[in-house]
Amino acid sequence: MDNDNSQKNKQAKSVALSDDSLIGAGGELHQIAGGTHPALTTNQGVALSDDQNSLRATSRGPTLLEDFILREKITHFDHERIPERIVHARATGVHGFFELTTSLKQYTTAKILTEVNEKIPVFTRLSTVAGGAGSIDTPRDVRGFAVKFYTKEGNWDLVGNNVPVFFIQDAIKFPDLIHAVKMEPDRGFPQSATAHDTFWDFISLTPESMHMVMWIMSDRTIPRSLRMIEGFGVHSFRLINDKNESTFVKFHWRPKLGLQSTIWDETIKISGADPDFHRRDMFEAIQAGNFPEWEFAVQLFTQEQADKFPFDHLDATKLIPEELVPLQVIGRMVLNRWPNNFFAETEQVAYCPANIVPGIDFSNDPLLQGRLFSYLDTQLSRLGTSNFNQIPVNAPKCPFGNLQRDGHMQMEQPAGRVSYEPNTLSESSPRETPSGSFYSKAVSETGEKGRIRAESFADHYSQARQFYLSQSAYEQSHIASALVFELSKVEHVHVRKAIVGHLRHIEENLASRVGAGLGLNTIPDAPKATSPVKNLEPSPALQIIGKMKDTLEGRSIGILIADGSDSVSINNIKKAATKAGATVKFIAPKVGETRLNDGSIIEADGQLAGTPSVLFDAVAVLLSDEGVKMLLTENAAIDFVRDAYSHLKGISVDNGGLTLLKMANIEHDAGVVDSRDEHAFIAVAKTRFWEREKYVRTLA
């Protein structure tokens, strides 16, 4: 889909501006480059001779109301902003395609899940939840994972997250949850953070959120890159086949680059060094042709199987462990085209979980049911019209038409006198298609009407415990430390204590670690659980560390250099890292020319003060004696190596680099290697040195 202004520009009169100068404000001459440019016009198509000066009564007199050019331009500008999303306002959107590799014909009639080896266009938007549109990319937060498939049978939106469960079971609690997590209404902060009183107060009173709390306190919510997150449809959906048989399904996305997270201290520093870290990372990867890819997988299960699960699959605070229902990979998604225009596409795209296609249907998950209402409703205030489906990024790519009419910003001009159905007056107006079109699965429901939470939703802790116990020891200490960090920002002691009480149901040891981290003398009592906590089998698939790939693909290496650095080591390391798939960037005290020991010149990609090591996966520090002398009094250089070390990264050093490491009090360990051995560097660059962590920070 190409929705740039080319149409408009094609219509615009072309004006040759060859020898070009314009008289600007104050009468100076502004030279502009020669070439052929379309005429700059008003929205009515009137070409402008002067876009620099408004119309004045005299050169120093009042501006005239008559100036329609000024008025039009300012009026349009005044209305440039539209309401941002209430949640998921901050995001990165990319076009791409989906390709099915294994047909699910046995289970569904949906062409998107049965026609293999076809490239179906998608638009994918990856977001944070709590912050506003201008907030940082790297808070501790869930990531939205929304995919719009432009299928042959209409748009299918899979609007998921990078965590497979949710905080609440019933849609009616969503406004409360979001009000609690967003900035507090009296003070207007914190922006984009769960570490404050109202969030934890709400959580302390909502035990069903405890499973999700384990996920958000894990490193899943501080990803290294949006290209390295998993995605989950969260709810159960139904697939329906040509015999009208229904099978339940959960949808999963698994990143080809593996799963990778940052370390909390690193994340905080990235937020300062580059608030657009994830958006830039995606933009640069797409520009370089390193297109991110995800496997698409399903978990399929029947009602009979579901009846035997030790939880209710309609409860969005529960997941189905892979060990119980294995994932079947059935396709892949590749993101390969950056939008032409951020506002037109990433901002105006309107996802809706109710957008499904024939052969797919909803489950009774009460959270999903509420979502089916909310998304269409929110687009009306965000995009201002019921015709938002006509915006190119939202329009289906298959033929579509109906007898809905008029409304704000109607772009279509349906001809003829018929705008109703059925009718006898038109032979060409759209009609129902009795077979092969959308149908809802006939399901019999029994029971009493009422505001009732199902008893099968009562177990709030067993899967939280399972998640915690499934993690490696490093990950468990990150979860405990994240809880200590967050709760230490909570002013109300009773709220801190209430959370620690809940943790006792998950794991006594977790509660005492967090309690100790908060300086509590005694560990508070656990609240009464609505259902006994079960000991479920650990699920190693829930870890992150085990899913980090042994590769440098998609990763980046920073090489710190200064005048006199050794060109041979630099070239060897650059060559080896590039060969291993990494992007290499040079950091130097100045961005201009850095002269190496053989007289060759490198133009650095980043200036040291503005390019800290948190922006890289591993670093090399290659400095001459004279270079390191200059940097010993440079705090940014000391921080560069200290942070790389304390963020458990591989480091390659020559003699100069080693001197800097000594100045920074860094111990030599297995992750620090000699720059002459570039292969050793590649090996250490692919991993993090978890065993180093106990020497560099106190974890709970």
Cβ at position 617, least distance to ligand HDE in Å: 27
Cis peptide before 190 (omega within 30 of 0): yes
Of these, 131, 139, 154, 160, which contacts ligand HDE (CB under 6 A)?
160
Nearest to 5 by CA among 38, 31, 33: 38
Nearer to ligand HDE, 142 or 648 (CB): 142
d(CA 651, CA 664): 13
Q: How many CB atoms lie within 10 A of CB 298?
A: 23
Cβ at position 184, least distance to ligand HDE in Å: 20
- Using CB under 6 A as the binding rule, whether residue 214 contacts ligand HDE is answered as no
Residue 425: CB partners within 8 Å, gap ≥ 6? 417, 418
Nearer to ligand HDE, 129 or 608 (CB): 129
List the end-to-end C-alpha distance of the chain, in Å, as a whole number. 51
CB-count burial class (<10 Å; 0-12, 13-18, 19+) for 525? exposed
Nearer to ligand HDE, 234 or 660 (CB): 234
Angle (CA) 348-354-358 rounded to 5° is 115
Site string for ligand HDE, 654-683 (x = CB under 6 A): ------------------------------
d(CA 170, CA 454): 11
- Using CB under 6 A as the binding rule, whether residue 234 contacts ligand HDE is answered as yes
Of these, 104, 122, 159, 325, which contacts ligand HDE (CB under 6 A)?
159
Tokens at 522, concatenated: 């005694």
Q: Active site residue: 37, 79, 155, 161, which one?
A: 161
- Using CB under 6 A as the binding rule, whether residue 122 contacts ligand HDE is answered as no
Tokens at 275, concatenated: 């608030």
Segment interacting with ligand HDE (CB under 6 A) among 156-164, 587-595, 609-617, 649-657: 156-164
- Using CB under 6 A as the binding rule, whether residue 375 contacts ligand HDE is answered as yes
Segment interacting with ligand HDE (CB under 6 A) among 373-381, 411-419, 426-434, 463-471: 373-381
> Rounded to whole angstroms, what are the CA distances from 551 to 59, 281, 426, 490, 541?
66, 17, 62, 39, 19
Nearer to ligand HDE, 368 or 560 (CB): 368
d(CA 677, CA 82): 55
Number of residues lying near ligand HDE (CB under 6 A): 24
d(CA 362, CA 237): 5
Catalytic residue check, 161: yes
Cβ at position 350, least distance to ligand HDE in Å: 6
Cβ at position 685, least distance to ligand HDE in Å: 33
Q: Where are the beta strands (DSSP E) in 435-573?
A: 556-560
Catalytic residue check, 336: no
251 neighbors 237 (Cβ within 8 angstroms) = yes
Tokens at 533, concatenated: 């906590």
Longest CA–CA separation in the chain, Å:
91
How many residues would you count in the chain?
Answer: 700
Nearest to 233 by CA among 353, 366, 107: 353
Cβ at position 374, least distance to ligand HDE in Å: 4
- Using CB under 6 A as the binding rule, whether residue 229 contacts ligand HDE is answered as no
Of these, 139, 144, 154, 517, which contacts ligand HDE (CB under 6 A)?
144
Cis peptide before 422 (omega within 30 of 0): yes
H runs (alpha helix) in 97-166: none
Q: Active site residue: 3, 37, 79, 88, which one?
A: 88
- Using CB under 6 A as the binding rule, whether residue 371 contacts ligand HDE is answered as yes
Nearer to ligand HDE, 316 or 576 (CB): 316
Of these, 91, 268, 487, 536, which contacts ligand HDE (CB under 6 A)?
91
Please report, as a single letter, which amino acid is at residue 568: V
d(CA 383, CA 391): 10
Site string for ligand HDE, 161-180 (x = CB under 6 A): x----x----x--x------
250 neighbors 298 (Cβ within 8 angstroms) = yes
Of these, 69, 136, 146, 268, which contacts ligand HDE (CB under 6 A)?
146
Of these, 351, 388, 468, 640, which contacts ligand HDE (CB under 6 A)?
351
Of these, 112, 285, 367, 479, which contacts ligand HDE (CB under 6 A)?
367
- Using CB under 6 A as the binding rule, whether residue 181 contacts ligand HDE is answered as no
Interface residues toward ligand HDE, by CB under 6 A: 85-88, 91, 125, 127, 144, 146, 159-161, 166, 171, 174, 234, 316, 351, 367, 370-371, 374-375, 378
Known catalytic residues are 88, 161
